[in-house]
Amino acid sequence: MNTPATSNRRASALTRERIIEAAVGLLDESGEAGLTFRALAQRLETGAGAIYWHIDDKRDLVLAACDLFVGPAVRAPADDAPDVRIRAIAIGLFDAMETHPWMGAALAVAAGELPLVRILEALGQQVRALAVDEADQWSTTQALMSYILGVGGQHAARSQLARQQNLQRTRALNEVAQAWAELDADVYPFTRSMALQLPNHDDRADFMAGVDLILNGIAQRIG
């Protein structure tokens, strides 16, 4: 039985960090739909009111959860070349979104919020270090951000759907490949030709190939 003293001890032990960690657990288990203040209060064995002392609302909580993983992902080694740092940031974010698929959708609507600003700053510093013309730094950084968050977010969404529906990746890809192989060869020649490659493709390698294409384009432009 909870006594007033027990409740007070739990409330005093409650911190923003503990709340965010518990929220990550719920998000990983059930996605953003599963994160409610009622579920969070039950997990923390406290009342919703105590949580509101530390968290403004659900959006604040989800963004804080994102920031927990964005921060480490964008801290590339300082002694590496700018293009190497950009690759490290890109793969760090991809891996974070793959492990925590709810991040993709959250970052897609986080315009101007801290997690997105961290990514913007990290990439922008490297774009500047590449000696990109000042007039092109914004568009270049935006191109990198859009690709990383867009493709990474799409992969995260597919991963989350697969988990929710208990789909096996190999089996699902084989089924898509079979459907592609049966398309009209005159209307879909390229898609049919990719049917054999689809089941064995590596999402992570494909993602990084796209990053390299952008970096090669930057190098050609400044060269």
Q: CB of 64 within 8 A of CB of 103?
A: no
Contact assessment for residue 160 and residue 32, using Cβ atoms and an 8 Å cutoff: no
Written as six digits, the tokens of 194 are 């990719």
What single string gives the DSSP state of each residue in the chain? Answer: ---HHHHHHHHHH--HHHHHHHHHHHHHHH-GGG--HHHHHHHHTS-HHHHHTT---HHHHHHHHHHHHHHHHT---TTS-HHHHHHHHHHHHHHHHHHSTHHHHHHHT-TTSHHHHHHHHHHHHHHHHTT--HHHHHHHHHHHHHHHHHHHHHHHHHHHHHHHTT--HHHHHHHHHHHHHTS-TTT-HHHHHTTTTGGG--HHHHHHHHHHHHHHHHHHHH-
Q: What pTM was estimated for this model as a whole?
A: 0.88
* pLDDT at residue 4, rounded to an integer: 45
Torsion over CA: 179, 185, 191, 192 (sign):
positive
> Given this model, what pLDDT does residue 6 score?
46
List Cβ neighbours of 64 (8 Å cut-off, separation of 6 or more). Answer: 16, 20, 23, 55
Whose structure tokens read 């991040």? 103
The predicted pLDDT at position 151 comes to 95
Structure confidence at residue 149 (pLDDT): 96
The reported pLDDT for the residue numbered 160 is 74
Angle separating helix axes 82-99 and 114-129, nearest 10 degrees: 160
Mean pLDDT in runs of 10 for the chain (223 residues)? 46 84 95 93 92 92 96 88 96 95 91 93 96 96 96 86 76 90 96 93 94 96 84
